[in-house]
Amino acid sequence: MSLLASLRMVLAPPHRSGHAFLVGGVAVMGFGLLFGAQWLIWLGLVFTLFCLYFFRDPERVPPGRPDLVLAPADGRVVSVEQATPPEELGLGPALRWRVAIFLSVLNVHVNRMPADGTVTRIAYRAGKFLNASLDKASRDNERNALALRLPDGRDMAVVQIAGLVARRILCAAREGEAVRAGARFGIIRFGSRTDTYLPEGVLPMVTVGQTMIGGETVIAELQRRSVSGQQG
C-alpha cells in the first residue's frame, strides 16, 4: 500500500456510530479546559484520537464481478474449515466452507456484504465474550447472523461475532433487502470476528494468516466448486 493510500485510510471520515464517542471525547477536553485540569484535556484528546482511528470508514472499490465472494471485513484469516452455518438461519446441517476473519482493535471495523443478493434472514443470539480469535467463538460468542440468497438461488451466510472487548454489534441490513457486494451493513465495537459461510460446494481461495481488506479482497469464486459439486 502506498503512503498516500495509507494516509487516506487513516484519515478517513468516521462511521456514524462513532459520532457519540467523539462528542464525548471533545466534551471531556472541554471540561478540562473549563476547570484547568490538564489531565482531563490529555485524556479527552487521546480518547478522541483513538475513536477517530477506530471508527474510520474508508471508501472501498469492489472488483465488480458478480461471480465473486468478497471479504466482509478487514483483518486476518484465523480459520478456513468446513462447518455448519448457525442453526438459527435455517440453512440446514450440511457442511460448507467457513472463512473466519479476526478484527483486532487496529482494523477497520465496518462490515461489508460479501456478495450481491437478498437478505433472507437476520438472527441475533446472545452469548459469551471469548477471545474472537478462538475457534469456539463461532459457537459460543454473542453473534448476529445474516442469510443471503444469491441471484442464482444459492444461499450463503455472514456472521458478526462479538469478541473479548466488543460489547456492541450494529447491523443496518433488513430482511428482504437487496444488497450489493462491498456495501456497508454494520460495525462491531471494539475488536471482533466475522465468519463467512460459502454456498455449498464452493471452495475458498484464501488461507490462514492472510490479511483481508473488507469489500475488496476476493475469498472465493462462485463457479469454483469442489469435486462433489457441479461446475458453474
Per residue of the chain (232 residues), give pLDDT as tens. 555 555 555 566 766 776 787 788 889 998 888 888 899 889 999 888 887 877 788 889 999 888 999 999 999 999 999 999 999 999 999 999 999 999 988 888 899 999 999 999 999 998 776 666 667 777 778 899 999 999 999 999 999 998 766 567 889 999 999 999 999 999 887 668 899 999 999 999 999 999 999 999 999 999 866 654 444 4
Whole-model pTM? 0.83
**Cell numbers placing 133:** 480469535
CA dist 110 and 72 (Å) reads 9
Contacts of residue 56, defined as CB under 8 A and 6 or more positions apart, other chains included, come to: 9, 10, 11, 12, 13, 14, 15, 108
Beta bridge mates, 211: 76
Contacts of residue 75, defined as CB under 8 A and 6 or more positions apart, other chains included, come to: 101, 102, 103, 104, 107, 193, 194, 211, 212, 214
CA dist 221 and 204 (Å) reads 8
* Whether 138 is catalytic: no
Cα torsion 164, 211, 188, 55: sign: positive
Say if residue 190 is preceded by a cis peptide, omega within 30 of 0: yes
Choosing from 104, 192, 226, 228, the catalytic residue is 192
